[in-house]
Amino acid sequence: MLFRHEFVRKGQMELIEEIKKTVEDGKVGFFEAPTGLGKTDAALTATLEFALQQQKKIFFVTPKNSQHKIVVDVIAGINNKYGTEIRAVDFVSKPNLCTDPFLYSGGSEFYELCEKKIARNGCIGYLNTFGKNKEQKVNAYRNIEQFKQKYKAVSHDVLRERCLDDQILCPYELSLILAKDANVVITDVNHVFLPTIRQKFLMKMNADMEDCIFIFDEAHNLPNRIKNSLSASINKKLLENALKELQRLEPKLKDDLEEFIETFHNWFMNLKSGFVDYNAFDELFAYYNYDAIINTLSKSQEFTIEKYETKSHLGTIAEFLIAWFDGKESKARYVDARGTLCCQSLDPAVLSKPVFSDCYAGICMSATLTPFEMYVDLLGIERETVQKRFSSPFPEENKLVLYSQEITTKYEERKENIPKICDVILNTVNSVAGNIAVFFPSYKLLNEVLSCVEDKTSKKIFVQQPEQTPQQAKRLVENFKEMKNTFGGVLFAVIGGSFAEGVDYPGDELIGIIVVGLPFPEPDYEMQALIDYYEKKYKNGWDYAYVFPTISKIVQGAGRAIRTETDRAFILLLDKRYSWSKYKTLFPKDFNFSLYSQERIHRFIKNN
Ligand code: SF4
């Protein structure tokens, strides 16, 4: 067994054996295992030997680039321990790998700008990677062989850095070359599920789907991520920018598009909030030829990128129209409360079904995959599946789960409950030292509570904002974590957001988490459409669209504080509905609910 650590953790061996059997039998497996079990190590140990013997390629698919390094570390650890030469490539998108400082922060137009640079021999990295004349080709070959010799498992950060040293290479092209020989390719959802990207990606690696073993980490996110990649939207600002872009086009393109864009803009301005019919464009395209318009929009996009090296809003309109007419039944079309015209996919199976049916084996892992049947349904899996749930390896007494019997955020009772919510939050944060996170169902409720509590605590409150850039978010979390060295800080964030799912707060970075209410999403057009669609397709609209995803978000958020064996935290759930068995039974077994009292929290903290 190729396992990098000295000891296998409690429950980890069972997980390894289950995954190993699933892969050897060529099945799809769902494994719900909490933090701390060592899922990444287990999945790689379980699949590596089989993949090496049977010449299969492992694709480790994670939602965040930051998680790629852990996979690289596992492979490097195995190579160190056993003297093996297992090759792993950490593959991220081209814009994230590119070393050109001017293209590096580019948006969707990045790809065309890169191609343009290559075409005019303007990219040294590309030239060094492939070479033009015989001598350059020999040099390029030698550089790549040296790289292969030196690095067996390499993260994208290191690869990018190395490509800036001495001999400048294109990190993206180098990754593709390395991926051909790699045993493990670490990548993202788009490279696997978007058919055109996947086909090119596999073709460049000389790999067939039946030779691929996919390991999906954080698999609870798959349905949403896939749905979003099929969705598109346009708003007033985008159309105004498109009108401006029109004025900068060459005369022929401008003449061909001007009337259409103006008519489209006027049509858009008359839309009202609500569902929009699939046939809403019938009148427009009875007059304008759809294919000709898409063609001209695409040419205009090329022109804008070529001439101005900026994003093309006309190109976005083309993408939107294509998305609109693709998948009549599997998309919801509506104008939301902010006036955005949305074309939202409802069905991830459109993209995931062929992946799961054509691959050799698939492993879906997460701390929250309850109920398994929902994921099987939503991902459109028709082959045999293995479904296993594992318990937490951490001491149960390290987690105190409390719920309030006095509070609810049920819509009709919400207003009268806000003072009670504020009281519990203030009593808790003011009476114990340490960092506490409070997760809300929405920014609206967050702000209502914030305005009542902000001047009643000496602890600094760090507030998540809807429009925060990743850099601002990172800084906010770092500053909040720093407060652990003082009496503590308070983090106000929304459940399901990046602070409640993407960030870990180990050790004393967080001593407690408060979840306000049972954070069901606000009913909106997308939710309404999802409920109807899932009801029609799976006879379980309400649970699939509304209940199960909400519980999954709570479990994810509540799990942020306990990441190691010695971490301790209380989880305070502010809603009496947590006592209802229909919700309670959806939580993992290590959620031992007891009734909230400040005394219980104090006793728990004192025992630290
Ligand atoms: S070829 Fe590579 S280095 Fe050059 S612009 Fe494209 S991605 Fe960047």
Cα–Cα distance list, 37 to 42, 136, 307, 334, 453 (Å): 8, 49, 53, 43, 38
Cα-to-centroid distance, 445 and ligand 1 (Å): 45
Residue 265: what pLDDT?
96
- Domain edges within the chain: 12-86+183-228+349-389, 232-345, 396-606
Query: Encoding tokens for residue 299?
Result: 């040419």
Q: Is the pLDDT of residue 104 over 70?
A: no
Instruction: Report the percentage of the chain scoring pLDDT > 70.
Output: 99
Testing ligand 1's pocket by substitution, the residue of 123, 129, 159 carrying the most ligand atoms inside 8 A of its CB is 123
How many angstroms separate the CA atoms of 339 and 274, rounded?
9
Residue 564: what pLDDT?
87
Q: For residue range 211-244, list pLDDT tens digits in order.
A: 999 999 999 999 999 999 999 999 999 999 999 9
Question: Cβ(92) to ligand 1 under 6 A?
Answer: no
pLDDT-derived band at 106 (thresholds 50, 70, 90) equals low
Determine the average pLDDT of the residues in 528-535.
Answer: 97
Residue 105: what pLDDT?
54
Span 396-606: which CATH code? 3.40.50.300
Q: Is the pLDDT of residue 107 over 70?
A: no
Q: Is the pLDDT of residue 444 over 60?
A: yes
Question: Cβ(123) to ligand 1 under 6 A?
Answer: yes
Nearest CA to ligand 1 atom 8: 98
Helix (H) / strand (E) element for 512: namely strand 512-516
Enter the DSSP assignment of 126. Answer: H
How many angstroms separate the CA atoms of 227 and 250, rounded?
36
Atom of ligand 1 nearest to the CA of 113: 5
Residue 63: what pLDDT?
81
Testing ligand 1's pocket by substitution, the residue of 91, 99, 112 carrying the most ligand atoms inside 8 A of its CB is 99
Question: Cβ(118) to ligand 1 under 6 A?
Answer: yes
Question: Cβ(567) to ligand 1 under 6 A?
Answer: no
What torsion do the CA atoms of 420, 425, 431, 436 make, to the nearest 10 degrees?
Answer: 170
Q: For residue range 281-327, list pLDDT tens digits in order.
A: 999 999 999 999 999 999 999 999 888 878 899 999 999 999 999 99
Cα-to-centroid distance, 439 and ligand 1 (Å): 41
Question: Cβ(169) to ligand 1 under 6 A?
Answer: no
Please indicate whether the domains covering 12-86+183-228+349-389 and 396-606 agree at the CATH topology level: yes
More confident residue, 69 or 438: 438
Cα-to-centroid distance, 158 and ligand 1 (Å): 17
How many angstroms separate the CA atoms of 534 and 528, rounded?
10
Residue 471: what pLDDT?
87
pLDDT-derived band at 67 (thresholds 50, 70, 90) equals confident
Atom of ligand 1 nearest to the CA of 95: 7
Testing ligand 1's pocket by substitution, the residue of 91, 97, 100 carrying the most ligand atoms inside 8 A of its CB is 100
Residue 518: what pLDDT?
94
Residue 166: what pLDDT?
65
Answer whether CATH 1.10.275.40 is correct for domain 232-345.
Answer: yes
Q: For residue range 353-408, list pLDDT tens digits in order.
A: 999 999 999 999 999 999 999 999 999 999 999 999 999 888 999 999 999 999 99
Q: How many residues does the chain have?
A: 608
Testing ligand 1's pocket by substitution, the residue of 91, 96, 97, 98 carrying the most ligand atoms inside 8 A of its CB is 98
Backbone angles phi, psi at 10, to 5 degrees: -60, 125
Backbone angles phi, psi at 440, to 5 degrees: -110, 155
Atom of ligand 1 nearest to the CA of 98: 8
Determine the average pLDDT of the residues in 89-100.
Answer: 88
Question: Cβ(103) to ligand 1 under 6 A?
Answer: yes
Nearest CA to ligand 1 atom 1: 126
Interacting residues of 487 by C-beta distance below 8 A, sequence separation 6+: 433, 458, 459
Question: Cβ(583) to ligand 1 under 6 A?
Answer: no
pLDDT-derived band at 531 (thresholds 50, 70, 90) equals very high
Instruction: Identify whether the C-beta of residue 546 lies closer than 8 Å to the C-beta of residue 376.
Output: no
Alpha-helical segments (H) within 103-211: 110-119, 124-130, 134-150, 156-162, 171-181, 189-193, 195-204
Question: Treating both helix axes as pointing N-terminal to C-terminal, what angle do 236-247 and 251-269 enclose, rounded to 10 degrees?
Answer: 160
Q: For residue range 116-172, list pLDDT tens digits in order.
A: 899 988 898 998 899 888 888 898 888 888 888 888 999 999 999 988 876 688 999
Atom of ligand 1 nearest to the CA of 94: 7
Question: Cβ(99) to ligand 1 under 6 A?
Answer: yes
Q: What is the mean pLDDT of the chain?
A: 93
How many angstroms separate the CA atoms of 209 and 409, rounded?
47
- The residue written with tokens 């870990």 in the block is 504
Cα-to-centroid distance, 123 and ligand 1 (Å): 6
CATH class of the region 12-86+183-228+349-389: alpha beta
Question: Cβ(94) to ligand 1 under 6 A?
Answer: yes
Cα-to-centroid distance, 115 and ligand 1 (Å): 8
Instruction: Report the percentage of the chain scoring pLDDT > 90.
Output: 80
Nearest CA to ligand 1 atom 3: 170
Instruction: Identify whether the C-beta of residue 188 lies closer than 8 Å to the C-beta of residue 94.
Output: no
Strand partners, 606: none
Cα-to-centroid distance, 126 and ligand 1 (Å): 6
Question: Cβ(604) to ligand 1 under 6 A?
Answer: no
50-55 contacts, C-beta under 8 A, 24 or more apart: 50/20, 50/23, 50/24, 51/23, 51/183, 51/213, 52/86, 52/183, 55/211
Question: Cβ(125) to ligand 1 under 6 A?
Answer: yes
Cα-to-centroid distance, 162 and ligand 1 (Å): 14
Nearest CA to ligand 1 atom 7: 98
Cα–Cα distance list, 465 to 176, 454, 472 (Å): 38, 16, 10
How many angstroms separate the CA atoms of 415 and 448, rounded?
10
Testing ligand 1's pocket by substitution, the residue of 91, 93, 104, 114 carrying the most ligand atoms inside 8 A of its CB is 114
pLDDT-derived band at 83 (thresholds 50, 70, 90) equals very high
The candidate with the shortest Cα–Cα distance to 346, out of 362, 326, 364, is 326
Cα-to-centroid distance, 169 and ligand 1 (Å): 9
Cα-to-centroid distance, 468 and ligand 1 (Å): 29
More confident residue, 54 or 522: 54
Cα-to-centroid distance, 125 and ligand 1 (Å): 7
